[in-house]
Chain A
């Protein structure tokens, strides 16, 4: 099975989560763990950088749906950046751009939080 990797860094009060590889039902728990850690540390402003993500399944989409409410209630959000075209089209087809903010560039997304 193709690999998945998640890493994060902090930029002020914004946390940048970088996802790489294939996000599906098997790898989704890794991302959930990452979000759980963020919530524990009360970091609710999150930018997810998709530049290295090649594939996302419905289970992967479900992770964002599950956590976005919590972040928004705490005055934070989950914003997406640097999506590849084919990954973006999956989000687009489902209507995610109506509900989430998508940016071409990570910096742009971080700036939106300030």
Chain B
């Protein structure tokens, strides 16, 4: 039995409709077969069919009424329309038609059709009304009061059924009366469930006040008309005496319920405005917290805040200023001119020794400001200045002003304080988001710079019978601007360059790209290293900004004869390890970009060195010698020299590896902050 019920209740809307229509169809067939119900078995079947149809229809209607529970007024209107229709049918027909003198006489086909139509309509309406009342009953109810309603339903059914029984046997009338009275008591009890009224807006309450009294009256009339004999009452009563009782009880329920609704609404009306304001406050706070998580643009949020301030706190104007280093910037206005708000807030912020940490309320304030050379005077009944503060730092102020009559009350001041807190949080949020976006952008930029750099560096080291080449490049997280390259000038001549661009990141990588272009082009034209660097400096003069410079060593190795010719522009010294002994070569030369005239040209020299068998040339950038340990001590040239000297006789790649190992060990606890580049040549006879 229980399972059967849950199956019906949990079924889809369509299934519920199908089931109720099925029983309705059975009822119709039954009525055509037995237009006159005159023995007890038929009466029982008749009532069983009617109550089953009603029950199923009730379950079906619940779907509709519950879906309208968001809007109780429309539900009430539905009930109102139905009760009006019932009222018109009953009253008009009782005026037009006389009552039927002997109900047993009318049993023709026509009567059956009319009777079915009217009765089914009435029952359907009544069931819908009951369903609507049930939905209203459970609306906004916090306590578990389901049992009261169920009890009422059962009582209603029993009273109706007793109505049928008393028709069979007039001795049983007392049962009907008893249940009738019990039902009325339960109806009265249940009619006090009207807490949903409190949540209506003021306008809705006024509307409800009018329709509830009309509806209570209509239900009352419907009840009264059915208590007397008239044609409709006779038809329904003949259809099923129980249905008549049911109808009467529901009409009574409507009368009582809407009567109570009327009085409740009446008592709620005086506080409706205040209630509306509180609700507006809560809704706008909820809306704002939603906005906080969705809106990245602070200005947009600020606009919602000033608007909400005006709506909730009944201020005439509201605006927000944000602290911008020493000045205040006006970022949002609501219902006030931009210039006016700017002038007023500046005047107020000057007058009072802000920052205030609490909400400041000023009453009867006269403010003189200059707007476009005109002096204007503003009179405010009340102005509130609420600081926007996060972690005790004030990032701006929310202003709310009333021009006329009333001052702000305590709740309004509190609400303004709450809005100010929201604004403060939003500013903080916006700042954090901006920061993280900037960080992301920087990381993306660095990624670009690293890509550029890795593309600029040679893919492989050239090697030949007489010349072995090895290189090591370790990029820093922030691209450092190191660059090295080889240019094969002829079969016997290899040119090389090592350079370090000042600065870091994308800008350094662009200069690197330019430098590579210049060297690549000039290497094919100028063989003299000094001349080449002078020319490079000239070209860079047109593009390098004042703060940037490039250090470089450019050299040419005559592989066949073992002659190194090079020039230096401000770069680290060139080292040569010859027969276990390390020598430092430092011809004079200014960094590229430090000077673009004679001084550069006259202060640079070529240096020519005759290489011995197995001599090793070492080029490096300051990333190697300036690698620091935790105590900010540099790795230094001396240490570099000793590592090289120790490994001078081994494999070339061994030297590179050992230098890197030593540098890494030395600075293991510190982040590498500059690129690290090593280029080594070993000449063999």
- CB within 8 Å of B: which residues of A? 2, 25, 55, 58-59, 61-63, 65-66, 69, 93-96, 98-99
- CB within 8 Å of A: which residues of B? 502-504, 546-549, 551, 569-573, 586, 588-591, 594-595, 599, 603, 632
CB distance from B36 to the nearest CB of A (A): 105
Which of chain B's residues has its CB closest to A54's CB? Answer: B632
A95 lies within 8 A of B546 (CB): no
User: Which residues from chain A contact B588 at a C-beta distance below 8 Å?
Assistant: 95
B549 lies within 8 A of A65 (CB): yes
A98 CB contact (under 8 Å) in B548, B551, B572, B599: B599
CB distance from B588 to the nearest CB of A (A): 7
B549 lies within 8 A of A93 (CB): no
User: Which residues from chain B contact A59 at a C-beta distance below 8 Å?
Assistant: 502-503, 547
A99 lies within 8 A of B594 (CB): yes
A65 lies within 8 A of B504 (CB): no
10 contacts between A and B (CB under 8 A): A61-B502, A62-B503, A93-B551, A93-B570, A93-B573, A93-B586, A94-B594, A95-B569, A95-B588, A95-B589
A25 CB contact (under 8 Å) in B504, B549, B589, B595: B504
Instruction: Give CA–CA (A69, B586) in the complex, Å.
Output: 28
User: Which residues from chain A contact B546 at a C-beta distance below 8 Å?
Assistant: 62, 65-66, 69
CB distance from A53 to the nearest CB of B (A): 14
Given contacts A58-B502, A59-B502, contact A95 B547 (CB under 8 A): no
Which of chain A's residues has its CB closest to B570's CB? Answer: A94
A98 lies within 8 A of B590 (CB): yes
- Can you list the 7 inter-chain pairs with the closest CB atoms, starting with the nearest? A95-B590, A62-B547, A58-B502, A94-B570, A94-B591, A66-B546, A66-B547
User: Which residues from chain B contact A55 at a C-beta distance below 8 Å?
Assistant: 632
A93 lies within 8 A of B572 (CB): yes
User: Which residues from chain A contact B595 at a C-beta distance below 8 Å?
Assistant: 98-99
Given contacts A94-B570, A95-B570, A95-B603, contact A62 B502 (CB under 8 A): yes
CB distance from B422 to the nearest CB of A (A): 35
A95 lies within 8 A of B502 (CB): no
B594 lies within 8 A of A95 (CB): yes
CB distance from A84 to the nearest CB of B (A): 13
Instruction: Give CA–CA (A66, B548) in the complex, Å.
Output: 9
A95 lies within 8 A of B504 (CB): no
Given contacts A2-B632, A94-B570, A95-B570, contact A63 B547 (CB under 8 A): yes
Which of chain A's residues has its CB closest to B504's CB? Answer: A25
Instruction: Give CA–CA (A63, B546) in the complex, Å.
Output: 9
B549 lies within 8 A of A62 (CB): yes
User: Which residues from chain B contact A94 at a C-beta distance below 8 Å?
Assistant: 549, 551, 570, 590-591, 594
Instruction: Give CA–CA (A55, B632) in the complex, Å.
Output: 10
User: Which residues from chain B contact A62 at a C-beta distance below 8 Å?
Assistant: 502-503, 546-549
Which of chain B's residues has its CB closest to A32's CB? Answer: B547
**How many contacts between A and B, using CB within 8 angstroms?**
56
Instruction: Give CA–CA (A58, B590) in the complex, Å.
Output: 14
Given contacts A2-B632, A62-B548, A62-B549, contact A96 B594 (CB under 8 A): yes
Task: Taking A55-B632, A65-B547, A99-B599 as given, write out 17 further A-B residue pairs in contact, using a Cβ cutoff of 8 Å, ordered by the A residue number.
Answer: A58-B549, A61-B549, A62-B503, A62-B548, A65-B594, A66-B546, A66-B547, A93-B570, A93-B586, A94-B549, A94-B590, A94-B591, A95-B569, A95-B588, A98-B590, A98-B599, A99-B594
Instruction: Give CA–CA (A60, B547) in the complex, Å.
Output: 9
Which of chain A's residues has its CB closest to B632's CB? Answer: A2
Instruction: Give CA–CA (A20, B520) in the complex, Å.
Output: 41
A99 lies within 8 A of B590 (CB): yes
User: Which residues from chain A contact B589 at a C-beta distance below 8 Å?
Assistant: 95
Instruction: Give CA–CA (A94, B548) in the complex, Å.
Output: 12
Instruction: Give CA–CA (A63, B594) in the complex, Å.
Output: 12
Which of chain B's residues has its CB closest to A25's CB? Answer: B504
Instruction: Give CA–CA (A18, B503) in the complex, Å.
Output: 24
User: Which residues from chain B contact A2 at a C-beta distance below 8 Å?
Assistant: 632
Instruction: Give CA–CA (A98, B599) in the complex, Å.
Output: 7
CB distance from B503 to the nearest CB of A (A): 7
Instruction: Give CA–CA (A92, B456) in the complex, Å.
Output: 29
User: Which residues from chain B contact A93 at a C-beta distance below 8 Å?
Assistant: 551, 570-573, 586
Instruction: Give CA–CA (A63, B503) in the complex, Å.
Output: 12
Instruction: Give CA–CA (A96, B502) in the complex, Å.
Output: 15
Which of chain B's residues has its CB closest to A22's CB? Answer: B632
CB distance from B17 to the nearest CB of A (A): 76
Which of chain B's residues has its CB closest to A70's CB? Answer: B546
Instruction: Give CA–CA (A55, B622) in the complex, Å.
Output: 14
CB distance from B568 to the nearest CB of A (A): 9
Instruction: Give CA–CA (A95, B552) in the complex, Å.
Output: 12
User: Which residues from chain A contact B569 at a C-beta distance below 8 Å?
Assistant: 95
Which of chain B's residues has its CB closest to A1's CB? Answer: B632
Instruction: Give CA–CA (A99, B592) in the complex, Å.
Output: 13
Instruction: Give CA–CA (A66, B546) in the complex, Å.
Output: 5
Counting chain A CB atoms within 10 Å of each CB, the highest count among B546, B572, B595 belongs to B546
CB distance from A68 to the nearest CB of B (A): 9
Instruction: Give CA–CA (A38, B584) in the complex, Å.
Output: 41
CB distance from A52 to the nearest CB of B (A): 15
Which of chain B's residues has its CB closest to A86's CB? Answer: B634
A58 lies within 8 A of B503 (CB): yes
B603 lies within 8 A of A98 (CB): yes
Which of chain A's residues has its CB closest to B481's CB? Answer: A58
CB distance from A43 to the nearest CB of B (A): 20
Which of chain A's residues has its CB closest to B547's CB? Answer: A62
User: Which residues from chain B contact A95 at a C-beta distance below 8 Å?
Assistant: 569-570, 588-591, 594, 603
User: Which residues from chain A contact B571 at a C-beta distance below 8 Å?
Assistant: 93
CB distance from B587 to the nearest CB of A (A): 11
Which of chain B's residues has its CB closest to A55's CB? Answer: B632
User: Which residues from chain B contact A99 at a C-beta distance below 8 Å?
Assistant: 590, 594-595, 599
Instruction: Give CA–CA (A2, B631) in the complex, Å.
Output: 11
User: Which residues from chain A contact B599 at a C-beta distance below 8 Å?
Assistant: 98-99
User: Which residues from chain A contact B573 at a C-beta distance below 8 Å?
Assistant: 93
CB distance from A100 to the nearest CB of B (A): 10
CB distance from B510 to the nearest CB of A (A): 16
Instruction: Give CA–CA (A69, B545) in the complex, Å.
Output: 13
Which of chain A's residues has its CB closest to B502's CB? Answer: A58
CB distance from B628 to the nearest CB of A (A): 9
